[in-house]
Structures are given as structure tokens and as C-alpha cells.
Structure 1
Amino acid sequence: MNDYQIEMNLSQSRKQKPAFDNLQFGRNFTDHMFIMDYTEGKGWHDPRIVPYQPITLDPSATIFHYGQTVFEGLKAYQTKDEQILLFRPNKNMERLNRSSARLCMPQIDEELALYGLKQLINVERDWVPNLEGTSLYIRPFIISTEAHLGVSPSLTYQFIIILCPVGAYYKEGINPVKIAVETEYVRAVRGGTGNAKTAGNYASSLKAQEVAGKSGYSQVLWLDGKENKYIEEVGSMNVFFKIDGEVITPELNGSILDGITRDSIILLLKHWNIPVKERKISIEEIYQASKEGKLEEAFGTGTAAVISPIGELFWKEKLLVNNGETGSLSKKLYETLTGIQNGSLVDPFGWRVLV
């Protein structure tokens, strides 16, 4: 990794940083970004750190017309002794390459990408917030850039990393959300792009979320696209249910995103000897478990919120989960995972990476 040469072109004027005690999610961006280009026959080249700036592309660039793009999301945390930590960043780079493969995009050198990310964070160390519940959100992404109208893989790409300081996803901790089960629209189907982190998946989810929002629900619970009966994800998060003492999450089936937080939760539960299974689970099973008083907790997992407890589900009728309150397991998982991430708790898994 020390052999990598990254050009540095640092900004001569710096932005005014936002107050770290009043951060909005995804609104304020740091002074610099990392960029690397790809050209067919040459491969990835010219890795550099430059001032944060607009991207200039030809109007016929394939990203605008055929949607070849993938992205990731992870965070950096500042510890009490001013160290900066990443959480399982190698998993994000691995998944970025899996997503790229699905969209016929070139593989990146994962070590170079992680090295470039660390160099960028070192340049922007003053942007890493140090208050409880805050972090530096990291968005690596790849876009196709060839000026060409034709349905074929682009011959040129850019890999870019941008950073933004963020506060807690929920300002008052982890509050239960109201979820509507989606029965009309579909997020993804097996054989599609559901297991890739690509922009189109999120654009196609907006309509269902808009409809649910008008009825007072925060998000939707997605069912499978074939039989419209098996649970897949909740909003843009993986989902877990605790039923009669056992935790269940939908198995990866080709249409569900392989979440890094999801994997971490499963490993934590196994570490605590709490029964956890990855399998098909139908909305009817959840409905019956609720009616029988066996549905103890439900929660979504993802990078942004870490844990998002579900307090209410609407399918045939409103179903309260844990009396609409945050469950003890959800709370313990949230506190443990965030403690490992920010360095305040012991990391028995070796997940933390020092910048």
C-alpha cells in the first residue's frame, strides 16, 4: 500500500465548518474529495485529492442515460483520545466491486481505494466531529462518463469519494418508526439489481415511500417481487424480527442487499448466544406472531441509523410491536455497535481500522 502515489492538490481557501452540535445529515461537505479515472485499455489511473468541486460531464455521458453507477456508505469516528476509526471499511470496498460486477463496471483495487480514503480523511481530520452521536459520513461512488448514446458498458469511469460530517440519524436517540407493508410496488426481484448498491434501486423506491408518507408512515416494508408474500427489506435497510425468543432476518436471495450492519448484527447475536436465523419469512407469519403475542421486537439495520426500531406495522390492520416502544434487544444492539464503532467499547471482532 505504501507504493501508491496520490497527487495532492489542496484548496487554498477553506469552508466554514458547521456547528458539530447541530449537524444535518448529508448537507455539509468537506473541502476536498478523492478522484481516480478509468480508461479502457489503461485501467484505473491518476488517483488524486482535489478541492471539492462540481463534476463536468458531456450531456451524452452514459451515466445520465443508462444509469451505470454504484456507491457505498460508511463512517469515520473520532475517539475521546482523538484517534480516527473506520468500521469494517474493507467490506464496503468488497461490496462496491460486487455491485460494479453486476453493472458491467470495472473492478477497483480495494487496497488503493482504502489507502486513498485514509489519505483523504487525514487531509480532512478537522472535519471529523467529536461529539456523541456524530461521525464523518463517507460516500465512495463510481459513475460512467463516456460521451456515447448506446446501450453498452461505458469505456470510461470516475471513482470519487466525498465526505460530510453528520449527527445522529435520530436527534433524540433511536425512536420507533411506523412502517406500512407495501403491496403494490416492488423494490427488486431475484436476478435484478437488488443485491447491488446502485442508484436505480433507490429511485424506484421513492414512489412507495411517498404514498406511505401521506398516510403517516415513515417507510415501507418491501415484499418479494414474485409472490408478494415474503419480507425482503424495510425502506433502504435490512430488517430483523424477534419472535418468541429467536431473531429472524430474511436470507440473502439475490434481491436483498448484503448489509454490513446486517452482518455485524448477526455476528453480535451469535457472540451473545442469542438464537438467530437467516431464512424466508412471510408477512403472514409476522402477522400471526403478532396476533399470538410472540412478536417481541422488529428493527431495521443500516449504516445511517445503525438500528431503527419498528414500533408499528400496518398490513391488514395496525400491529403494535413491543407496545410501540424501543425493545431491550434493539437498544443493546445499538449501544454495543455504536460503542465498538466510536472506540468506547472493546472490539472483540477486530472490526475497527485506525486511520
Structure 2
Amino acid sequence: MKFGTKAIHAGVFPDPSTGAIMTPIYQTSTYVQAAPGEHKGYEYSRTQNPTRHQLQNNIAALENARHGFCFSSGMGAIDTLVKLLSPGDEVIATNDLYGGTYRIFTKVFEKYGIRFHFAGMEDASAVQSFVNERTRMIWVETPTNPTLKINDIAAISAIAKQCGALLAVDNTFASPYLQTPMDLGADVVMHSLTKYMAGHSDVVMGALVCNDDKLAEDIAFLQNSCGAVPGPQDCFLVLRGIKTLHLRMQRHSENGAAVARFLNEHPAVSKVYWPGLPDHPNHDVARRQMRDFGGMLSFSLKGDRIEDAMRVLSATKVFSLAESLGGVESLLGHPASMTHAAIPREERLKSGVTDGLIRLSVGVEDVEDLIGDLEQALI
């Protein structure tokens, strides 16, 4: 089954009671049982809900995985995954990553005796120097947020397997339309479904998918025990959004390419971060593990001054200044003071997140309007 067909049909089925083609919103907290323990697979909606069940199956199918789990946010998904670890365990994470991920690693879980190492992973062999007998997880973003670094999933998977660590990949920027990390050796894939998967800036949700039955059992236990589950209304909205994921991602990628090339030639721009550019670091890896290069990009102005960045941020008319990404509308933001404010400045600078960096989430509007908006803002 091809991707577009899976996006619409995989894991979902008409409502058995009415034949409704859209998965109903099962707005219920509990389910009637014929006798104690005698039920039709559902007993309490924190444990399982039919709307969430179909969404989880759909996401797993898109990622070529066997098991899927949804959470009330992307951070809820990350929180659940790290709870698989124990005090004394160590994690190697990419040093260019979402600020919320950095925050939960360093401000929440380090207190419980879990140690995190942050490493540049563009050269996969660099990961090896952080491996020791306590390494239990390797955390990868690719493309990274916000400088779009490309990390070789298959190469890092080989290192993870050699040391017996779990390889977790944040696939939010790419979505399964552009990249399926499970096929490249990932053990578990995380999504902020809030972004491209839902696609309409109206839902907050996260997901984990995996193939291993024991890992799935452990995640399911934590999902139920800790209770960070989404409601059925939000699950319905994400299911609806996924039905057009392939169409939206194609346009995001087309528009992203046009905007990246425009910025790359603009005299006021010093650097563009977009993996589709031939001179982007690890462009060859991106070509190998991605099907296209997406609508996320960042750029710096000549001089890399924060005051110049702020002038551009306040001058756009089609691009909206806002947190988040992946919706149909185009957004721009200032990572240093918005999405990555939780990362200390010295750490941000090491990974290229300068005070003058601007991040774009290129939407699905007419690209001529997007380029025109940036052109007038860059004057």
C-alpha cells in the first residue's frame, strides 16, 4: 500500500454500528461490562479508547511500525520514554535539539540520577566517544531543530546496537512522509503530532511507535499508569489531519525549496540552513534517508545581529510570528528567545543557535506570496 493510501485507510475502519466512514469521537470515560472483566476490549478511557486506538494504529502503519501510542503532548511522549530508564543510566543526545527536550532532560530527569551527554552527531563516529557501560539510550533529531543538521540514522543505529542501547528518533520535522526511521534501524520513533501530522495548528499531542513487543508492553504500562493520554476529540482531529498529510507535505517541500533558494541568493542573508541545498552539511545523507527535504529552514542575516533579526520578524505580513511549526500557515520565530530559550546561551552557540538566527515553518500558501513577503521584510 502506497503512502497516500495508508494515510487515508491504514489502521482505520468504518464504525461497526453505523457504517460511518469517519472514526467516531467516543466521548466516554468508561464502558459497560456484562460481568466483571467481561468487556469488548475497552473498560476505561485512560487505558484505551476506540478513537485513540484507530489513531495509534494509523500512525504505526505510516511509520512502518507494529505498535503506536498517543500522548497528550510531544513532551508527554518524551517523558514516558525516559521513564523506561533507571537512576545511573546514561543518554547520548544530539546537541542541536528542541529546547523543551533539553529542558526535560536536564531540569527534570537529571534530578533522578539519569545523566545526559550532548554531542554533535553529524559525524556518527563522534557518538562512539560518549558510549560506556551505562549507556542505555541514544536520542537523535534529524533534521535537527533549528539548524536542520542531518544525522545518519543507520550509522547511529549500528553504534546503538553494538552497545545495547535504545535508539530513539524524533521524526517531527520530517514526518513519515519524508522519512521512516524504523526502516533505518530506530527502535522507537517520537512525534510531536501537534506539528505536521495534525497540520492545522489546532491540536497538541505526541506519539511513540515501535516494533519490539516487550518495549511496547512497557510503554503501554507507562501510558496507562501515568495517564498522559489525549482526549478523543483531539484524536479525531489528528486522524482528520493525517488524511491530507501526503498532500500537505508535498506542498511544504515544494514551497520550502523555493523559499530556501530565494534566501540563499539574497544579498542580506549570510547563511541558509536547509538540507536540500547541495552545500548543506550531510546533504548526501539527507538524499539517502529522506524522500524530500521539507518546509523547515533557518537563516541568518549578514552581521548576525539580533536587532536586524527582530526587524525582519516584525515586518512580515504573511508569515506570522509564533511558536510551533508544521501547520498549513507559514510561521517564523526567533529560536534563541522562543523555542530554545531554555538552553543556556553558551550551549546554544555551540550548536549554531545564534542570537540572530530566524526559523521558518514554510506553509502551503502560494509561494509567490511567501517570497514577496520575505523580500519586503528583508529590505
What TM bracket, shorter-length normalisation? under 0.3
TM-score between both structures, scaled by the size of structure 2: 0.26
TM-score between both structures, scaled by the size of structure 1: 0.28
Higher helix proportion (structure 1 or 2): 2
